[in-house]
Each structure stands twice: as C-alpha cells, then as structure tokens.
Amino acid sequence: MPRPRRIVLLRHGESVGNIDDTVYEREPDHALALTALGRAQAVEAGTRLRETFGDEGVSAYVSPYRRTLETFRALRLEPGRVRVREEPRLREQDWGNWQEREDVRLQKAYRDTYGHFFYRFAQGESGADVYDRVGAFLESLYRSFEAPDHPPNVLLVTHGLTMRLFCMRWFHWSVAEFECLSNPDNGSFRTLVLGPDGRYRLDRPFERWTTPQPYDLWG
C-alpha cells in the first residue's frame, strides 16, 4: 500500500476569538474570521508549504470552520496539484453554542485542574471525544492510501488541540504525555515524515509546559 511521504498538520491563522474572548457571546465559534495578522500568518505558511511540496500532488482536508477555510484559501496552493475536501471530524473541540465569557473562563479553570483530556465542557466535548473522532478520521485516511494515484503529500488544516490529539492517536502517546503539551502557534505546522524504515516521525516536537509523570502499568 503506497503511503504519502509527508503528512502536514497546520493550525489556522490567528482568529478574532484568539484576541477577544467576548466575541463568543455574539458570534458562533465556527463563524469566527481570521484577523489581518492571521491572514498574514496563513500567507507565510503557504510560502513555506509551496516550497515543501514543490511540484508534487497534495491531498488536503480542511476543518469546516471559517478560520480554517480562510487559512486554506490564503495558502495559495496550486489548484491543479491539490485535491481538497471539507472534513468535519477535524473541527475544533466543541464548547457549546452561545458562550458566556465568565462561564467559559470558569470552565477553563476547571479544565486546567481536572485535565484537558477528560474534562467535558458543559454543553460541548471533552478532549477524549475529539480523540475518538480523530481516530475515526484516521481510519478513512488509511483507506485513502490504498488508491494507486494517492498524492505523496497530505495536508490537514485544523486546530491546535486537534493537532495534538491527532499525533497522540497516531504515535500512541499516553494521556500524561498529551497533558504536558502546548498548542502550536497560529499559522505554524508540524510534519509527519516517512522514514526509510517505513515509520513516520514528527519533524519537531510540540513544546511542553511541564514534564509528564510516568505511570507503571505493571506496578
């Protein structure tokens, strides 16, 4: 089964929600647009990605949120070399519908104490829920590799938490390892590179805000 040489995970550019958390009281999370800086970040990412992909084909999957769709368009990839589809399973962690600012801040504080993987927002998802739908997407992605004309590159335009959970699922990281990782910056990406031994490796690690505590399953 042919497999792509690289799988690129790109976080969307800065959105209005990244700089003003009161906007969630007035606009749905999925409808938030990029800021001027976010568009510039996406354009810069596109320059780097075009250099990475060269004249090779790309299979792209984009979260259906406005900020990820705008990020993809700003990449300015060559349409003739890219086949793209909208992929709802790569969306942001659901926090609920209209969000009250102080309630969200309180729930985030609870999540920091409880744990980002297991804490479930009152009207939304837990990190574990996102992990499950990312796993379902991976099954579809694996099946796509069976096509004889599958491009040598895969691009996922998604969100910070989803990127970390994708890698957690792919590399079989523990919950403790996931909990110590920070989101990548807006407009930055990580690449899973296929090695000569047939295994994928991350081109650079996610930053850690703490050290995971080891747990001995046999202890």
* Pairwise CA distance, residues 122 & 126, whole Å: 9
Q: Is 70 a catalytic residue?
A: no
* Pairwise CA distance, residues 188 & 208, whole Å: 16
Q: Is 12 a catalytic residue?
A: yes
Cα angle for residues 41, 43, 45 (degrees, 5° grid): 70
Catalytic residue among 12, 70, 125, 159: 12
Token pair recorded at residue 143? 């099946």
* Pairwise CA distance, residues 3 & 24, whole Å: 40
Catalytic residue among 92, 116, 125, 159: 92
CA dihedral 108, 113, 116, 190 (to 10 degrees): 90
* Pairwise CA distance, residues 164 & 168, whole Å: 6
Contact 11, 158 (CB under 8 A): yes
* Pairwise CA distance, residues 47 & 178, whole Å: 30
Kindly report the backbone phi and psi dihedral angles of residue 110, in degrees, each rounded to the nearest multiple of 5, phi listed first.
-60, -45
Query: For the chain, how are helix, strand and coil distributed in percent, rounded to 5?
Result: 45, 15, 40
Would you please indicate which residues are annotated as catalytic (active-site) residues? 12, 92
